[in-house]
Chain A
Amino acid sequence: MSEYLIKNGFVFDPVQGIKGDKADIAVKDGKIVKSSEISSKAKTIDAKGKSVMAGAVEIHAHIAGPKVNEGRNYRPEEKLFGYTPKKTGSRMAGGFSIPTTFKTGYEYARMGYTTAMEAAMPPLYARHVHEEIKDTPIIDEGAYPVFGNNWFVLEYLKNKEIENVAAYIAWLLTETKGYAVKIVNPGGTEAWGWGLNCISIHDPVPYFDVTPAQIVQGLLEANEYLGLPHSIHVHTNNLGNPGNYETTLDTFKLAEGYKAKNKFGREQVLHHTHVQFHSYGGDNWGNFESKSKEIMEYVNKHDNITIDLGQVTLDETTTMTADGPFEHHLTELNHLKWANVDVELETAAGIVPYIYSPNIKVCGIQWAIGLELALLAKDPMRTFITTDHPNAGPFTRYPRVMKWLMSEKARKDQIDAFKYSDKVVAATHLASLDRELTMYELAQMTRAGPAKALGLAHLYGGLKPGMDADIAIYDLNPEKPATPDEIEAAFSRARYVMKSGTPVVVDGEIVSHGNKRTLWVNAKVNENPQVVRDIKDKFLRYYSVNQANYKVANHFVPNPYIIEVDATQ
């Protein structure tokens, strides 16, 4: 098997606490090993004057599945420019905010990302999600099935039947080859079946008579009962509305008193995603303001919570979420084309294009809030960089987000470029924050942190011997100060990227499709005849497919990495 030695680079590795020291990284059989374990035949890669990090881990992006593909198909205008032709070893690739599957794999890899999680998989459409994952080259992927509006969950939680919920989660993860418990607008999306919504976490769900708070707390308990690698992954109610930060804090508080119970080293019990969209003050778009301080004050004090940003990138993009009522609200706001799908017994989804314009005050404030969340974070191991791709902007803008976080000057330049910069400054705290993230903190926010939160710290996020050889080398010399634009350019095109020991990017170009894997969780629970009977009954009476045709067969996941969880005790 192939051996590599990456020499002379400045290494940033939060797992081993290496903060830019020169160190050699040895690779053998797809894993990182001690330098003494490789032979003299190892291929040497000179990383002199460059920075070396583990491959980055994407914790939340919409990159595969029915709504992503509806976005592609209903926005041909997105692909008029920037299509790249087929080359030796790579397929043709196009699209901007919703790239084709090939482009998705290539672009992540070029930025040094080697793992990505699809953030919302409707269980009935799981087969579609896996077909796309199969066609996304290079990166390892997993997908989170949505649970927050599922009829089984609503019915069991009305009676606080945590064990039944856990058994159902275990069953559904196996059926759909899913990775984690995703909750989107709990209860609100079921209410959307009737054109309604749940705005606060105490609004009862129509007919089912259970509240969003009960849903989140119940799923949290079931998640810890099972000891899954990832915690519940929450997008709470009231997204995108002025004054919603109180709903967000109320949701955070549901986790108080809970401690993580799992064998994967995960410490949080609740991950809240794209918090930028949930940190708004004011009560209308006129007095709309940042509440990032209130949010981060809470997050900093409570170490059983992790968050990701949902950073606005000031682009034209395509919003898509299982928060069906929100997308309807958005199309009423911007009058752009609206797609919606309600999924029987399970969830819904909506899509609306959106333009985050630097000429609009609210967009400027949203942009500032996302950066504030990261800059106010005391623990970079619990705050992760995302754009909630493609909702706040495409993932291909991560290098730009990193630039803003690493350079006060870059932030100031952007604020000055806003049409209403005075109003943006007045409604936010960003102008008073002079923190500039270090490379080490960046590695925590994009590598070690998300890997740990996902329960994958044994595989990803670090360069310790024994871990997967996912490695990125960037043209950044920590001994020489880089301009903001140099930072962005370096992170946009990694000099060299290795995935599981296979070189996939050399000099910013794709050289191999690698050997991508699909991660899913196989949770075992004690036999539960009631849940088995309920599942059979729901398929007989309410689903439009037979139970025997629901399960995603193994051939849809040709190269699985299965994480076993045993909750039979």
Chain B
Amino acid sequence: MTKSVTDVICPFCGTLCDDLEVVVSDDGKTIVDVYNACAIGAEKFMHAQASGRVTRPRMQQPDGSYKEVSYDEAVEYTAQMLAKSKKPLMYGWSSTSCEAQSVGHEIAEQVGAIVDNTATVCHGTTLLAVQDVGIPSCTLGEVKNRADRIIFWGCNPCHAHPRHMSRYSIFPRGFFTNKGHKNRKMIVVDPRNTDTAKMADIHFQIEQGRDYELLSALRVALRKEVLPDTVAGVPKEKIYEAAELLTSGRFGIIFFGMGVTQTLSKNHNIDEAIMLTKDLNEFTKFSIMAMRGHYNVTGSGQVLGWQFGYPFCVDLSRGFARYNPGETSSNDLLRRGEVDAVFVLGSDPGAHFPISSVKKISELPSVAVDPHITPTTEVAKLHVPVAFVGVEVGGNCYRMDNVPIDARKVVDPPEGVLTDEEFLTRVNKRVKELMEA
């Protein structure tokens, strides 16, 4: 007989679906099936079962081979590395729980580290824009219950946030939207003809990197001022039409992704998108929301916020918190050779950072804490495997709209494998001893 665990939270993307059903074997040790999840989410659960999983820390040897070490040795290596380092980088934090992040910050405060999360190569530009001009937003349930104008700008939820449209933004029948998608007009702005774009009522296939111009043009169109014949490859008639469509709605929202945050103009794009949203509030109700990637990158920003006052790029090396993206951001620090040790948890910079940064990581004392074997664990001196948060251990996570949801444990981790929080707690204790000595 198998049993079913309900209301399970999916630890994959920022959509943070909380309606999964996971079927586990009678002894509660293996996952048999996953219902309600998207293909990526289901794979995350099934992957925890994969054979050949690393279950003990591994130290890289000079010849590139690995030697299994105990967790005690891994704790000692990590604590020594951090305590000795003058300016360590502690990066990642987006695929773990807030409880683990909190312990990590305590370590960072003691050793004078820089704490940075994946926003640094993702929605960090959004955070900068919010610091410039604010952000009118809402929860995803508001979108479900009220929204009749939906814009996806530079994002492709069909593939990156697969259940976003069915749970919140396009298809659900909400309180004031009882006809579901028939109540809604969908606009997609993307230079590519993506699967999301194919579903749209209007697809602006703009010239690449011209988002700022089109956003500005929409603000002009709202004011019924004069536009040139085409902007960003879009004829002006279409822009006036879109402005009319947006103002005629009752409640609208712009969802945006990496297509605007990490292309030409970066944070300036988001400044303009937020100002467009603010302008639209003169006519109707409008919100804007970042399509956050990792399931708990939002949580990392929150915990850093209440503990230190900044959402990412937090430099604790001077004994008090500083924040200066461009100076205290991971890639800038790595490429300038400003850090002398690297600790990674809950992210894979080896796969996502520029090769120049990854090379630096490979040259430094480094620890990667990750359940998987990843490009990062391959370059790190020490790989510490841990339990999957949201599968093998619970913990708090924040959805892309900042709503906190407590992830559930479904099965036990492989015997003897520590959780992020347990490993960090042991490192913290050891660091304390070393710093006091």
Which residues does A use to contact B, with CB under 8 Å? Answer: 64, 66, 68-70, 72-76, 78-79, 83-86, 91-92, 94-95, 98, 100-102, 124-125, 127-128, 131-132, 135, 151, 192-195, 207, 328, 331, 337-345, 348, 351-352, 541-546, 548-549, 553, 556
B287 within 8 A of A: yes
**Across the interface, which residues of B come within 8 angstroms of A207, CB to CB?**
176
B35 within 8 A of A: no
* Chain B nearest CB, measured from A396 CB (Å): 15
Contact with A along B401-427 (1 / 0, CB 8 A): 111111000000000000000000000
**Across the interface, which residues of B come within 8 angstroms of A78, CB to CB?**
309
| Distance in angstroms between the alpha carbons of A101 and B316 in the assembled complex | 17
B285 within 8 A of A: yes
Q: Which of B130, B301, B306, B398 has the most CB of A within 10 A?
A: B306
Count CB-based A-B contacts (< 8 Å). Answer: 185
* Chain B nearest CB, measured from A557 CB (Å): 13
| Distance in angstroms between the alpha carbons of A338 and B136 in the assembled complex | 7
B191 within 8 A of A: no
A–B Cβ pairs within 8 angstroms, 26 of them:
A72-B305, A73-B311, A74-B135, A75-B131, A76-B310, A84-B320, A86-B320, A101-B307, A124-B403, A128-B402, A194-B285, A195-B284, A337-B130, A338-B133, A339-B137, A342-B137, A343-B142, A351-B134, A542-B141, A542-B175, A545-B403, A546-B7, A546-B19, A548-B7, A549-B9, A549-B405
A131 & B404 in contact (Cβ 8 Å cutoff): yes
B137 & A341 in contact (Cβ 8 Å cutoff): yes
B174 & A132 in contact (Cβ 8 Å cutoff): no
Q: Which of B174, B309, B398 has the most CB of A within 10 A?
A: B309
**Across the interface, which residues of A come within 8 angstroms of B303, CB to CB?**
131
Contact A86 to B319, CB < 8 A, known contacts A72-B305, A100-B307, A544-B140? yes
A94 & B308 in contact (Cβ 8 Å cutoff): yes
* Chain B nearest CB, measured from A96 CB (Å): 10
| Distance in angstroms between the alpha carbons of A282 and B15 in the assembled complex | 48
A92 & B321 in contact (Cβ 8 Å cutoff): yes
Contact A340 to B137, CB < 8 A, known contacts A76-B310, A194-B250? yes
B109 within 8 A of A: yes
| Distance in angstroms between the alpha carbons of A126 and B400 in the assembled complex | 16
* Chain A nearest CB, measured from B140 CB (Å): 5
| Distance in angstroms between the alpha carbons of A343 and B404 in the assembled complex | 13
**Across the interface, which residues of B come within 8 angstroms of A132, CB to CB?**
306
| Distance in angstroms between the alpha carbons of A68 and B398 in the assembled complex | 16
Residue ID in chain B nearest A542 by CB atoms: B175
* Chain A nearest CB, measured from B180 CB (Å): 12
A339 & B403 in contact (Cβ 8 Å cutoff): no
| Distance in angstroms between the alpha carbons of A549 and B176 in the assembled complex | 24
| Distance in angstroms between the alpha carbons of A84 and B251 in the assembled complex | 44
| Distance in angstroms between the alpha carbons of A69 and B146 in the assembled complex | 26
Contact A127 to B396, CB < 8 A, known contacts A94-B321, A195-B284? yes
Contact A331 to B306, CB < 8 A, known contacts A193-B251, A342-B142, A345-B141? no
Contact A544 to B250, CB < 8 A, known contacts A73-B305, A344-B142? no
| Distance in angstroms between the alpha carbons of A135 and B98 in the assembled complex | 12
- Of A68, A127, A546, the residue contacting B18 (CB under 8 A) is A546
* Chain A nearest CB, measured from B315 CB (Å): 11
**Across the interface, which residues of B come within 8 angstroms of A79, CB to CB?**
309-310, 321, 323
B139 within 8 A of A: yes
B132 within 8 A of A: yes
Residue ID in chain A nearest B287 by CB atoms: A342
| Distance in angstroms between the alpha carbons of A83 and B323 in the assembled complex | 12
Contact A83 to B141, CB < 8 A, known contacts A73-B305, A544-B403? no
| Distance in angstroms between the alpha carbons of A192 and B173 in the assembled complex | 21
B146 & A193 in contact (Cβ 8 Å cutoff): yes
**Across the interface, which residues of B come within 8 angstroms of A544, CB to CB?**
139-141, 144, 167-168, 403
Contact with A along B389-404 (1 / 0, CB 8 A): 0000000101001111
B144 & A342 in contact (Cβ 8 Å cutoff): no
- Of A92, A151, A342, A541, the residue contacting B319 (CB under 8 A) is A92
**Across the interface, which residues of B come within 8 angstroms of A194, CB to CB?**
146, 250-251, 285
**Across the interface, which residues of A come within 8 angstroms of B167, CB to CB?**
544
B145 within 8 A of A: yes
**Across the interface, which residues of B come within 8 angstroms of A352, CB to CB?**
134
- Of B141, B146, B278, B405, the residue contacting A338 (CB under 8 A) is B278
| Distance in angstroms between the alpha carbons of A95 and B303 in the assembled complex | 15
**Across the interface, which residues of A come within 8 angstroms of B230, CB to CB?**
none
A95 & B309 in contact (Cβ 8 Å cutoff): yes
B243 within 8 A of A: no
Closest 10 CB pairs of A and B: A344-B141, A337-B134, A544-B141, A342-B138, A548-B7, A83-B320, A85-B319, A195-B285, A340-B136, A127-B404
**Across the interface, which residues of B come within 8 angstroms of A94, CB to CB?**
308-309, 320-321
B60 within 8 A of A: no
| Distance in angstroms between the alpha carbons of A481 and B131 in the assembled complex | 47
| Distance in angstroms between the alpha carbons of A556 and B396 in the assembled complex | 9
**Across the interface, which residues of A come within 8 angstroms of B316, CB to CB?**
92
* Chain A nearest CB, measured from B30 CB (Å): 23
Residue ID in chain A nearest B16 by CB atoms: A545
| Distance in angstroms between the alpha carbons of A338 and B282 in the assembled complex | 14
| Distance in angstroms between the alpha carbons of A376 and B261 in the assembled complex | 55
B183 within 8 A of A: no
**Across the interface, which residues of A come within 8 angstroms of B131, CB to CB?**
73-76, 337
B142 & A542 in contact (Cβ 8 Å cutoff): no
| Distance in angstroms between the alpha carbons of A416 and B167 in the assembled complex | 60
